[in-house]
């Protein structure tokens, strides 16, 4: 992975396998590299725990996925590519994250008018 994988990209989908502890560790490293390349402290992203159909082989809990998403200030979902579960939702969430980053909400600040 090099900087061209991070420049001009509007959002990222970080996918780990719920059956692989090392996969969630790897996406942490990948995200850090992306942040280094972009020079930012956050990027629009969705964190996806894949292979939720293999819940009996789970090594990464939903709570751990949710906690990481909260730390990264991104959305989280579990999915199963094999069973096409939540695949559309991943893209819907990604679009929402990109739109949110492109149109940050402006705080309503009280104004004072002096005449």
94 part of a folded domain: yes
For residue 115, being part of any structural domain is answered with no
**What pLDDT shows up at residue 101?**
84
- What is the rounded CA–CA span in Å between residue 75 and residue 21? 20
Q: Residue 48: which domain range?
A: 3-102
pLDDT of residue 26: 97
Residue 25 falls within a domain, yes or no? yes
In a domain, 110, yes or no: no
pTM comes to: 0.83
Is 114 inside any structural domain? no
What's the pLDDT score for residue 6?
A: 61
In a domain, 113, yes or no: no
Mean pLDDT by 10 residues, the chain (115 residues): 67 96 96 90 95 96 97 96 96 91 67 58
Query: Is 111 domain-assigned?
Result: no
Q: Check if the beta carbon of residue 10 is closer than 8 Å to that of residue 44.
A: yes
Give 62's contacts (C-beta < 8 A, 6+ positions apart).
49, 78
Domain count, the chain: 1
Report residue 56 as tokens. Answer: 């009996």
pLDDT at residue 38, rounded to an integer: 86
Q: Are strands 75-78 and 45-50 parallel, antiparallel or unpaired?
A: parallel
Question: Which pLDDT does position 107 carry in this prediction?
Answer: 57
- Asked if residue 107 is part of any domain, the answer here is no
CATH (domain of 92): 3.40.50.300
């Amino acid at each position: 992975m090099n900087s061209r994988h991070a420049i001009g990209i509007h959002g990222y989908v970080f996918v780990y396998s719920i059956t692989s502890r090392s996969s969630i560790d790897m996406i942490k490293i990948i995200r850090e590299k992306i942040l280094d390349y972009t020079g930012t402290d956050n990027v629009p992203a969705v964190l996806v725990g894949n292979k939720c159909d293999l819940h009996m082989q789970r090594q990464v809990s939903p709570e751990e996925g949710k906690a990481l998403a909260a730390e990264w200030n991104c959305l989280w979902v579990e999915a199963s590519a094999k069973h096409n579960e939540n695949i559309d939702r991943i893209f819907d969430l990604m679009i929402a994250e990109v739109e949110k980053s492109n149109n940050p909400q402006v705080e309503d600040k009280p104004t004072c008018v002096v005449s």
